[in-house]
Every structure is written in C-alpha cells, then in structure tokens.
Structure 1
Amino acid sequence: MAQQYTRKMIREVFIKLLNKHPLNKITVKDIATACEINRNTFYYYYTDIYALLAEIFQSELQIVIDEYNDTLSWEESFIVATKFALENKTAIYHVYNSMQREELVNYVYNVSGNVMSRYLEKVGEGIPASLEDRKLITSFYQCALTEMVLRWVASGMKEDPDTIIRRIGQLFDGNIELSLKRSANLNSIY
C-alpha cells in the first residue's frame, strides 16, 4: 500500500511540476524534494523521468480503454482522453514542445488505434470484411484522429473537444460499417 501511495505521489508531483516548468527543466532531485523522499526512492520506481512520463501516458491510455469498455463509444473515449489534456494544458504543451514529444504522439496514436480497433470490431460483427481491409480502415481512422488531436494541441486547445468529437461522430456515422460492407462485397467478387 505504501508503494502505491509513493508511486502515485511521484506521478502527481511530476504533473504539477510539468504544469509549471518545461520538461527539460525538471530533475529527479526536484521531484524527490517536492515528494520529501530521497532520489534512491525515485529510482526504485522509475529509471528516469522519461519512464515516469511513459507510465503516466500508459495509465491515461488504460483509463480511455476502460471508458470504451464501459460505453462502447469511440466518441466518449476520446472525450475522456482530452479531459487529461485540458486539465493539464501547460504540462501537455511542455511535453509537446520537448524532445519527448514522441511520448505524446505515441499516446494519442495508441488511444486512436485502440479505440478504433475495438469500435471496428463491434460495428463489423457479422460483416465478412477481409482482415486486411479491417486493418486498413482502422489505420485510416487512427491516423486521421491522431493528426486532428495533435493539431488541436498545437493550436492551443482552444476548441471544445466535446463539440468537435461529437460533430465528427455525426458527420462520419455509418462510414465504417459501409466500408466493411464494401470490403465484403469486393471479396465476394474475387
């Protein structure tokens, strides 16, 4: 129990520091001092700050996956994913503008891929689309959503993600199912 508390405290302090300072200005010593632990305790849990950052994004990814499992809605899952970004705008900018931008990009890409893959699985039940086409459709939406989120971050996160995500859902409603049916028809021709 104490280990979970310490790990949680380290993560929370790091996010607070990241909301105040660029990533390259935060040291293990800063985190340890703010947590009132020694540096060895930090290293017991994490190899470095980047491992800590990766764990935070992995944890947020799990929250999004859990949301999808609860609601079966890609839109609701994305809204949950943007909640962390909105609550920690400065921290997200600091990661986005750092050498560790790839962690953020991978997080968004993984969220997009996981959610769209699960959504496609649900929508495609009973449709005999080819596996290759399923992967292609998932990849297309994964890349599109990833780029949209990254552009949203780059532009200052000004637009309300809830409104945008729901609008995208309305505009593209039925397209994935239609694509899967087209795949099934194309496969039956050959």
Structure 2
Amino acid sequence: MASFTKRAIIESFIRQLQNKPADKITVKDIVEDCGISRNTFYYHFKDIYEVLEEILRIREERVIRGLENGEIDEGDWREGMDRMIENQEMLYRIYRSTRGTEVRRYFSESAAVIFKHMVEVKARGIPAAEEDKELIGRFYHHAFEGCMLDWLESGMKTPIAQELERLGRLFEGDIELALKRSAQFRENSGCKDSE
C-alpha cells in the first residue's frame, strides 16, 4: 500500500506540473488530487521538494538500470541521453523553479554515470590508463552537461534531440580514439600496469 500511495503522490505532482510551475504546487493540491490526508502525504515525504527529488532520483535510476541491463545500447550514449530528457516540459518547469539546482544535479549525476559507463565499455580490450579513462569520461560528462544547461537556459528553443544526434555523428569514434592514444602513450612510456 505504501508504494502505491507514494507512486500516486509522484504521479499527481507530475500531472500538476503540466499546468503550473513546481514552485506553485502545494501539498494541498497533491492531497486533493490523490484523495489522501495531509498526514498520509507527510508519512511519505517531508515536503513538496522531496517529491521532486524523488522524481529525479527515479529517472536517474532508470538511466543507470537501462545501461546495466542492456536496455540502453552500451555503444550509444544518445539512448541514455534520450531517456534522461523524456518529458522535456516537466524538466524545464522544474528547472525554472527555485529548485532548478535539482535539475542541474540530475543532469550532472546522470551524465557522469552514463559517460563513465560508456568509457568503461569502449575501453574493453584497450589497455588505457585509468586516469585517462576518468578524464575522458569527465570531459564528455561536462560537455553534455553544458549543452543541456544551455538548452534549458534558451527556453528549450533548439531541438535538443537533433543536436544530440548531430554531436553523435560529429564525435563518433572519438572515445575509442582517445582510449587508443592513452594505450599508445602508456606503451611508449613503458608502463604496463593500469595507473
């Protein structure tokens, strides 16, 4: 019963976001929509912002789970990004609220996980230095995060899916190339162990 109620509260919050900014959604709105008491709401969440944090946490977990179980192709970071930006209007409304930092954190943490995983997958069979793998992952993570924040700041005016597709074509193979260069540097310097 508890998980059903918690899910109903989350779904109500998402529905409310279709009509108003996150800052304007109240506990009263949620409890009336769900037909529950305020005490029931507070049993599951300490405040409305904890609902928001839970929504973003669930979305982040879906991306990570998709990578781990193969739902998201390990070789295609764009699938992970597409999953991250599902329901763009909801993300934008949250971003524009006083809790925009939560959306920034969501993009940052999700992108970090996706690109770290992506680099690990692409590094299979390539003896790249660990510090280089971390550096490559951070580079792509921050590049993606910057693109997403620019997109949100612009009011989502550019079609982000098309931009991500274009970036994918422009930089296709660059992660593997960087990993191979790392392996070559290690070989040339005589390092045999991972750093």
Once residues 153 and 19 of structure 2 are traced to their aligned partners in structure 1, the CA distance between those partners, rounded to angstroms, is: 18
Residue 130 in structure 1 maps to residue 133 in structure 2:
no
Match of residue 114 from structure 1: 113
1:35 equivalenced with 2:38 (yes/no): no
| Mapped contact 1:130–1:184 kept (Cα < 8 A) | yes
Q: Within 5 Å, which residues of 2 pair with 1:93-108? A: 93-108=92-107
Aligned residues of 1:113 and 1:142 also touching (Cα < 8 A): yes
2:80 pairs with 1:77? yes
More helix as a share of residues: 1
What is the Cα deviation at residue 65 of structure 1? 2.3
Q: How far off its partner does 1:185 sit?
A: 1.8
- 2:159 is the counterpart of 1:177: no
Residue number in structure 2 paired with 1:186? 185
Using the size of structure 2 for normalisation, the TM-score is 0.87
8 Å CA contact retained: 1:79, 1:161: no
Structure 2 residue aligned with 1:56: 55
TM-score (norm: length of structure 1): 0.90
Superimposed CA distance per residue, residues 15-43 of structure 1 (whole angstroms, 9 cap, x where no aligned partner) = 12223222222221221122111111111
Find the counterpart in structure 1 of residue 64 from structure 2: 65
Q: Which runs of 5+ in 1 are unaligned?
A: none
- Aligned letter for 2:141? Q
CA drift of 1:167 comes to: 1.4
Q: Is contact 1:67-1:76 (8 Å) kept? A: no
Partner of 1:147: 146
User: In structure 2, how many angstroms separate the alpha carbons of the residues matched to 1:148 and 1:43?
Assistant: 37
More divergent stretch after superposition (69-78 vs 112-121): 69-78
Quote the Cα distance in structure 1 between the aligned partners of 2:157 and 2:21.
21
Structure 2 gap segments, 5+ residues each: 190-195
* Cα pair 2:77 2:118 within 8 Å, conserved: yes
Cα deviation per residue 1:50-79 (whole Å; 9 max; x = unaligned)?
A: 211111011111222233332222111111
Q: Distance in 1 between matches of 2:66 and 2:161?
A: 15
Q: Give the match's secondary structure for 1:83.
A: coil
